[in-house]
Amino acid sequence: MERTFLAIKPDGVQRALVGEIIRRLETKGFTLVGLKLVNVSRELAEQHYGVHKERPFFPSLVDFITSGPVVAMVWEGEGVIASARKLIGATNPLNAEPGTIRGDLGINVGRNLIHGSDAPETATYEIGLWFKDEELVSWQPTI
């Protein structure tokens, strides 16, 4: 079954939106298979956002993601990578559709609440970067 990496960023934690964001993913029907609160090191931040290292906003992105706890998660489900990106909405919350997490809850591209893997290769890389195999719990809903 497909898996994706999602992270509630420091703004989501500090604005007390962890429950609201997880609720949206749970009620969609995806399965949570990994969850932890992380104080992100600069090394992890730079590896996670390595693809953006030449962008002008890279230093502020690393500063921000290391500024407070992040909720790191792995979610499982059919088509979860693309579907979670739809639930999350456009990168800039000002362009995100109402009904999406960023469209409903965010207003700033640098404070856009949640990160989601954008493709299968990225999901595999990010899950491996943030989680050890033994931290992931394989289970199937039985009700």
Q: Which residues are catalytic?
A: 115
Nearer to ligand CMP, 41 or 91 (CB): 91
- Interface positions, 78-97, toward ligand CMP (CB under 6 A): 91
- The contacts of residue 71 (CB under 8 Å, 6+ apart) are 7, 8, 12, 13, 18, 22, 35, 36, 37, 38
45, 112, 123, 126: which one binds ligand CMP (CB under 6 A)? 112
Taking the complex as a whole, how short is the minimal distance between the CB of residue 43 and ligand CMP, in angstroms?
A: 17
Rounded to an integer, what distance in angstroms lies between the CA atom of residue 83 and that of residue 99?
13
Binding of residue 99 to ligand CMP (CB under 6 A): no
Taking the complex as a whole, how short is the minimal distance between the CB of residue 52 and ligand CMP, in angstroms?
A: 6
Rounded to an integer, what distance in angstroms lies between the CA atom of residue 58 and that of residue 55?
5
Binding of residue 110 to ligand CMP (CB under 6 A): yes
Choose the binding region for ligand CMP from 10-18, 98-106, 110-118, 132-140 (rule: CB under 6 A): 110-118
Nearer to ligand CMP, 47 or 57 (CB): 57
Nearer to ligand CMP, 95 or 137 (CB): 95
Given the structure tokens 């970067």, which residue do they identify?
Answer: 129
- Interface residues with ligand CMP (CB under 6 A)? 52, 57, 61, 91, 109-110, 112, 115
**Binding-site residues for ATP:** 9, 57, 85, 91, 102, 112
